[in-house]
Amino acid sequence: MRVNPAYIQWIGDLIIPALGFIFWDWSLYFILLFILLDMITKEVIMHAKAYQVVKLHPDGKRHWFKKSAVSTVFFVSFLLLVHVAVLQVFPTLKFTSEWWRFWTYEDLGIQQGYVLFPLLAVSGYMQFKQSFVLTNMAAKLTMSELWSPQIKLNVWRVLAASTWIGVARFIYLDESVWIGLVLGVVAVYQWITLFRQPN
């Protein structure tokens, strides 16, 4: 029986941060960095999908720039809001130091940055190839149909990050609880969006 690649992707998106927390002592911010890097990879791949659509529908180029600009504004806003939320939980955290620690963290003598970044890139490309190129999705979608779900997704991300800021401001929770909440929300949101968006 052929396994739906969407299920494999969903498991893969969750298993690394979960393993990082259990075995590699990843902090909440480490887990968020991995999740955000995965999201950035997928946002970039949206442009690869748009390029495939434009090759078949050249008149969609103008909509590509317009829709991608809107998506980027919401996505960058989301990234900034997540970092504001992290400062609500850890007011003394230094982002540059944590970024460097995340990159240089070693396990089995290898700095994880040299493993995780290629892993995310290859995983994203394979998912793009299998579920978009090989299924000829570009011929089935207009530029608006491609970008509209992504824009809605980024709007929901902004709302979720804003909600987190509000909760963290007034309620103290242990870091492990925040990690559980983040992974739980990501799991549910990935499940819902994975099967609704054009891949």
**What does the pLDDT look like over 135-166, one tens digit per residue?**
888 888 888 889 998 999 899 999 999 999 99
Residue 190 lies in a domain: yes
32 located within any domain: yes
Model pLDDT, residue 36: 93
pLDDT of 7: 62
Taking alpha carbons only, the member of 108, 107, 119, 120 closest to residue 20 is 107
Please state, in angstroms and rounded to a whole number, the distance separating the CA atoms of residues 76 and 113.
22
Q: Name the strand (E) or helix (H) holding 56.
A: helix 28-56
Domain that holds residue 167: 5-194
Report the C-alpha gap between 96 and 138 in whole angstroms: 39
The least confident of 10-24, 57-71, 78-92, 180-194 is 10-24
Contact 141, 198 (CB under 8 A): yes
> Is residue 36 domain-resident?
yes
CB-CB contact of 49 with 129 (8 Å): no
Q: How far apart are CA 64 and CA 163, in angstroms?
A: 30
Say if residue 31 is exposed, middle or buried (CB neighbours under 10 Å; 0-12, 13-18, 19+): buried
103-131: pLDDT as tens digits: 887 766 678 778 888 888 888 888 888 88
78 pLDDT higher than 90: yes
- Is residue 111 in a domain? yes
Confirm whether 93 is domain-assigned: yes
Percentage with pLDDT > 90 across the chain: 26
Count structural domains, the chain. Answer: 1
| Tokens describing residue 8 | 């494999």
Whether 199 maps to a domain, the answer reads no
